[in-house]
Structure 1
Amino acid sequence: MAKNEIEEKLPHTAVATWGGYIYQGKIALYYCLALMLENAADSKKFTLQLDSIDDFAILLDGVCQSMHQVKAYKSDDFSAYAGAIKDQLEKSKGYPGSKVLFHSSKNVVVPDDFLVIYSPVAFYSYNKGAGAENYCGLSEVDSLLEKLIGDFYSKYDPSSGYKISSEYLQWSRNLLEDIVVSKIISMHAEIQLTDGAVQRQVASREKISFSIFLDVLSTELTSAILCESYFFSVILKDIGNYYIEFCEENELEDEDLYKLGRCVARINKFDIGRLKIFMRSTLPSKKGRFNSLAEYKDETLSSDDFQFGLFKIFDDLIESEFDGGGRSASFYWELSGGSFYPTAIHQGKQSTGAVCKKIVDNAIKHDVEFLYESGTLITTDIDADSIFSVVNVGARGGGLQDHKKFNKFKDVALVSIANLPSGIKK
């Protein structure tokens, strides 16, 4: 069978266009945990499939047991969801006997005749302690996941009370999430950067055995898990969450959504070393020591930096050029012989001196090679002909003067979005 014929037979995937791919992964994990809590032994036979039959599906010996649609829309009006529900209803005809569940981040008021018209589709009900509700908000999904994990430990390992501490539950959640979300992130990156119907093949091949989840839940977690790979996955999820929030707040058109999606996809393909370099280049005024991703996570990560700084710059400009290895700064624009680099600096003009001083101080302390390439750093609102000229560095002849890269600092400028050359503005 020809490749294009195979792709036509594969179910449609929404990973490429839906900004809530991380939320989708969290909801898939929630449902898996609920099944494992019911019967851990029997659940070992199940497999989670991502973005093929539906947004996710549960399989037993290759047969679909339940199919799930996940929506993180801003609206709570049923009309916003009716089309997706109808599509799911039609799709379910190919999987008789399967549960057909719809997940929403908003409290959607369904019509009185919903069951009559849309059966077997049903809104999934989440246990929220005092009662059950047919939605799971973006802001509450983490706490609901940790509640389920705590219930699992209490049921299957009641003698280990320390496992239900908030810290231990957070470790467990992040490790379990990474099993699902890392696959979705990888799929998202591959799909965003690949043309054509290959999207369907990328999604259809991703399956996860429940035994992998159970292995994490049966492992003794200690501070030893707080290694680079752990924080690497946490940081990528955080960036993904900021991306979702930015897209929702700014209601991006398709072209801009895809452009920003490709930028995030490239970040998602970084390895640990490249992620560190990226953070140094985009957050040059931050205090993080960057000896490890744990220090970065504790000291520098901010939603505001990405939403009001880096993502705004990516959104307001034409799509950047990209270098995944040669340059210290992966994203850049070349114009009239000059190089421009995006940053997450979003402070106002009154902070110019303080920001420049921090950039210089951090570059000296951490030997940030990115700054030694010279060029212009793009900010949202700050302009400076040289990061050195506006900063109080003390008496000439001091430590900065003696620094081997001293002259390079004088060649690094800051420019606001408003004063960028028109050639790189969209």
Structure 2
Amino acid sequence: MAKQSLPHTAIPTWSGFIYQGRIALYHILKQLNAKTENEINELVIQIDSIEDFTILKSIPTGGHTPISLHQVKAVKSALYSTYKGDFEQLEGKWAAIGLKTVEAFFHMATQNEKTKAQIEVLHPNMKVYEYENSAECCSLGDIDVKIREQIAFVLQKYNIVGHTNPNTVQLLSEILEKIVSNKVIYIHALNHGGTAIRNAAYDNPIPLQDFLNAIRTDITSHVQDEVYFESKIRSNLNRYYQEFCLDCDEDQLSPELKTKMNKYSILFNSYDAVAFKKFLQNIRPHKSISYENLQQYTDLSLNEDEMKDSFYQILMNIKESNGGDGIGWVCSESKQYFPTSINYSNSESSKKNVSERIIKTALNKMVDVPFNSDYLITSECNVDNIEAYANNVNHVNHVDTGESESETKITQWRKVSLIDLETAKKKLND
């Protein structure tokens, strides 16, 4: 199939590490279970050059030809009208390929008011994807369970130990999901380097054999170290993001807003280990970030409510960040603002508590003020002077890294204020 005949890629707005990526992984695992290894060796998955994902088969003359297109829609709406345009778009892409042997599948996270049969009568050139027990949709909460089930089946099929061990199956699901997310990040890196994203997406498929090879890899050498827990936190970050988006009403997320939010998600996933830890510490200045072992991961890792009720709300409600690939804003008065996951109330006790925790963290971890911000945005807490509210800071038994360095840190933080989202919106969105 000639590259120039492809419809435009949708990858700039594709949150591919999350629900769509997991649906793709589920379908890949179904193929591993249904096909022989020789058949698997001929298949690749493209993310995303024609549709959200596409399965292609190698051909004797070289290259690949599509065998199935897959569009994924993760919204709460059950109304047929919500999906009608997407159904038609998928049919249009199927027609543009010009191969009747290609199947076009539509995946839904919510049961539609019309049945699969009714939809397919109205849209005869596509099929509603069917899951186990004739289910016509798969919720965000169900997809991880289905992935683990399919992994267990693959382990059994190829006589690989571990199919009855939940920890083994869970670890494999994380390893396989990372294959998908890494590919999306790589495609975006190529795009930032100057390659047209359409070409980057088209030219970088993943062989299905890679997934089978990963399942066959001896995972007994995997240890629960900082690298392992970092991957768990990244996975949680993605899950919280997808759930946040799915919980929004359809009219809350315009296409432009979805694009903005997906860019943020891609950015956070692209951070290397050092940048990722700094990012976490910057958005959680009131808590120390550590995940070298299970206890630290359990006690100090991301908090779901903070991310959903504060951090993602801030990103959604304030215009796109100023400048480059970072996060943060500059107002008309040249003051710098940075988003946080702080969701304390605006009571006097909350102001005192969060201010003390920020100063303690700054002393113990030697945390720099995020991007030298003047204001840290919270869900609803306002503090004019963090140091003034932290009147117990002298009782903190912090690590002594030298008086001048400690004083420098505190001097920096004295200049920082907390500002609630609604007030920040007025200053930054005008």
> What is the Cα-based RMSD across aligned positions, in Å?
3.4
The verdict on how the C-alpha distance between 1:223 and 1:90 changes in structure 2, with shifts beyond 3 A counting, is same
Question: Could you tell me whether the CA contact under 8 Å between 1:125 and 1:135 is conserved in 2?
Answer: yes
TM-score of the aligned structures, taking structure 1 as reference length: 0.83
Please state how far the C-alpha of 1:384 moved relative to its aligned partner.
1.5
Name which of structure 1's ranges 137-146 and 110-119 shifts more when overlaid on structure 2.
110-119
Match of 1:342 in 2: 339
Q: How does 1:196-235 map to 2 (within 5 A)?
A: 198-222=196-220, 224=222, 226=224, 230-235=228-233
Match of 1:31 among 24, 27, 34: 27
Amino acid of the structure 2 residue aligned with 1:51: D
Matched, 1:241 2:239: yes
Name which of structure 1's ranges 108-117 and 397-406 shifts more when overlaid on structure 2.
397-406
Amino acid of the structure 2 residue aligned with 1:63: T
Match of 1:102 in 2: 106
In the aligned structure 2, how far is the partner of 1:213 from the partner of 1:366?
A: 40
Amino acid of the structure 2 residue aligned with 1:413: S
Q: How does 1:23-422 map to 2 (within 5 A)?
A: 23-42=19-38, 43-61=40-58, 62-93=64-95, 94-108=98-112, 109-110=114-115, 112=117, 114-127=119-132, 131-157=133-159, 160=161, 162-187=162-187, 198-222=196-220, 224=222, 226=224, 230-248=228-246, 249=248, 251-289=252-290, 295=296, 299-322=300-323, 331-333=328-330, 335-350=332-347, 351-370=350-369, 373=372, 375-393=374-392, 403-404=406-407, 405-420=409-424, 422=426
Name which of structure 1's ranges 260-269 and 280-289 shifts more when overlaid on structure 2.
260-269
In the aligned structure 2, how far is the partner of 1:240 from the partner of 1:306?
A: 11
Name which of structure 1's ranges 361-370 and 72-81 shifts more when overlaid on structure 2.
72-81
Please state how far the C-alpha of 1:345 moved relative to its aligned partner.
0.8
The verdict on how the C-alpha distance between 1:270 and 1:396 changes in structure 2, with shifts beyond 3 A counting, is closer
Question: Could you tell me whether the CA contact under 8 Å between 2:46 and 2:206 is conserved in 1?
Answer: yes
The verdict on how the C-alpha distance between 1:372 and 1:122 changes in structure 2, with shifts beyond 3 A counting, is closer
Question: Could you tell me whether the CA contact under 8 Å between 1:372 and 1:409 is conserved in 2?
Answer: no
CA deviation map 1:116-148 (0-9, x unaligned): 553452222212xxx331211111100110011
Name which of structure 1's ranges 165-174 and 69-78 shifts more when overlaid on structure 2.
69-78
Helix, strand or coil for the counterpart of 1:384? coil
Question: Could you tell me whether the CA contact under 8 Å between 2:19 and 2:242 is conserved in 1?
Answer: no
CA deviation map 1:92-127 (0-9, x unaligned): 341221233222112223275555553452222212
Please state how far the C-alpha of 1:304 moved relative to its aligned partner.
2.1
Please state how far the C-alpha of 1:79 moved relative to its aligned partner.
3.4
Name which of structure 1's ranges 38-47 and 210-219 shifts more when overlaid on structure 2.
38-47
Give the percent of matched residue pairs that are identical in Structure 1 and Structure 2: 27
In the aligned structure 2, how far is the partner of 1:170 from the partner of 1:114?
A: 35
Match of 1:3 in 2: none
The verdict on how the C-alpha distance between 1:313 and 1:117 changes in structure 2, with shifts beyond 3 A counting, is closer
CA deviation map 1:302-339 (0-9, x unaligned): 23222221222223333322466xxxx85342553533
Helix, strand or coil for the counterpart of 1:136? coil
In the alignment, structure 1 segments of 5+ residues that lack a partner are 1-5
In the aligned structure 2, how far is the partner of 1:263 from the partner of 1:363?
A: 26
In the alignment, structure 2 segments of 5+ residues that lack a partner are 59-63
Please state how far the C-alpha of 1:167 moved relative to its aligned partner.
1.5
The verdict on how the C-alpha distance between 1:238 and 1:145 changes in structure 2, with shifts beyond 3 A counting, is same
The verdict on how the C-alpha distance between 1:111 and 1:217 changes in structure 2, with shifts beyond 3 A counting, is closer
